[in-house]
Amino acid sequence: MIEDKNQEKTGLDQLGEFGLIKHLTKNFTLQHSSTLKGIGDDAAVLDFKDKKAVISTDLLIEGVHFDLSYMPLKHLGYKSVMVNLSDIYAMNATATQITVSIAVSNRFPLEALEEFYSGVALACEIYKVDLVGGDTTSSTKGMLVSVTAIGEAKEGEIAYRSGAKPNDLLVVSGDLGGAYCGLQVLEREKEVFKVNPNNQPDLSPYTYIVERQLKPEARRDIKGLLEMLEVLPTSMIDISDGLSSEILHLCDKSEVGCNLFEDKIPLDPTVISACEEFKMDSTLVALSGGEDYELLFTIDQKDFPKIKGNPHLTVVGHMTDKSEGVHLISRSNTKIPITAQGWNSFS
């Protein structure tokens, strides 16, 4: 990203906390009747009447969850919202409001935060959610972002992790492994840049996987798709830490086992070619890569004809009795126990 070194930057101390919040949020408009009061008071006021509220929150830390040497601030603002909306959609709910809190060191001028909030605003506009609050403060350790997402759902439509039954089919939206492959490309180009700062990387062959890492899209569409198909998922989770970890969460909460079929895991051709280039196993990348933000859910077997052939959904396995354990059925028909090898920020 080319930056004008001579452009005047505005120090955050010139605005103060309340002036900063007012400046950054002045262009956000409210879209939901459930938002009675947004930003500007001690708390937001929401009214969901006869629906249930669902709430989720995530913390993103510079150097742990994102690297600003290749993550544009506008993309970071967008992605920060996506990772939270994905949790709401994983409850088979509709996201309606968010709060955004940030802590930044004095190396960030006002213009940098404007970039970040432009990404937040774009996410709010596309996904039809209201920004209703948040906080700003200083940091001695770079940038920290905390987003809380709020949504609504009818009680009978909420999909918990605990509802899967033996013989239910395991279904995934979209394709897997792209975000991790995109990260490998960006990390490689970062190392090349360190050696030769004048080198401009050609990322055009990797557009899809780099976008999956820098600008993921939460699957808001799946709830509507399942409603149209008249399918109610029995359990659901989003794929943030890798397919293996999420399957184990479903199995643990639902007290079932699972057979996942390796040859059914959906992979984009660019993921397969990137795995060959980086000498990575594509199945392992799908199982453990994380950050795909697709939805993983179970359905009753009788609903299979309704989803069969749908380009957005892939049946990748089925749930079994708990005593049978959790296994990957390899292409050579070998049963391999699935272990949690997904992304772990504490390791």
Write down the pLDDT at residue 42: 61
Pair 186, 84 in one domain? no
Rounded to the nearest 10 degrees, what angle do helices 269-277 and 178-195 cross at?
Answer: 40
Pair 129, 48 in one domain? yes
Q: Give the 3-state secondary structure percentages of the chain, helix then strand then coil, rounded to 5.
A: 35, 25, 40
Pair 189, 328 in one domain? yes
Please state, rounded to an integer, the average pLDDT across all residues of the chain.
91
Opening angle at CA 267, ends 216 and 124, nearest 5: 15
Is residue 344 in a domain? no
Domain count, the chain: 2
pTM of this structure: 0.89
The two tokens of residue 250 are 């479903």
pLDDT at residue 2 greater than cutoff 50:
no
| Residue-number span of the structural domain to which 241 is assigned | 169-337
Output the CA–CA distances (angstroms, integers) from residue 7 to 53, 68, 104, 112, 272, in the order listed.
45, 20, 20, 12, 43
| CB-facing half-sphere around the CA of 201: CA atoms within 13 A | 19
The two tokens of residue 40 are 């500007």
Higher pLDDT, 256 or 136: 256
pLDDT, tens digit, 9 for 90 and up, residues 308-327 = 999 999 999 999 999 999 99
pLDDT bracket for residue 1 (50, 70, 90):
very low
Pair 127, 264 in one domain? no
Distant-in-sequence contacts of 64-72, Cβ < 8 A, 24+ apart: 64/345, 65/345, 67/186, 67/190, 68/142, 68/143, 69/190, 69/193, 70/186, 70/189, 70/190, 70/214, 71/214, 72/1, 72/115, 72/214
pLDDT, tens digit, 9 for 90 and up, residues 229-243 = 999 999 999 999 999
CATH number where 120 lies? 3.30.1330.10
Higher pLDDT, 43 or 51: 51
pLDDT bracket for residue 40 (50, 70, 90):
low
- CA atoms of 83 and 316, how far apart (whole Å): 23
Pair 280, 302 in one domain? yes
Write down the pLDDT at residue 6: 58
- CA atoms of 185 and 192, how far apart (whole Å): 11
Distance from CA of residue 142 to its chain's centroid?
22
- CA atoms of 327 and 346, how far apart (whole Å): 26
pLDDT bracket for residue 333 (50, 70, 90):
very high
pLDDT at residue 346 greater than cutoff 50:
no
Pair 239, 202 in one domain? yes
How buried is residue 73: exposed, middle or buried, by Cβ count under 10 Å (0-12/13-18/19+)? buried
* Segment (H or E) for 27: none
Question: What single-letter amino acid sits at 249?
Answer: H
How buried is residue 238: exposed, middle or buried, by Cβ count under 10 Å (0-12/13-18/19+)? buried
Is residue 3 in a domain? no
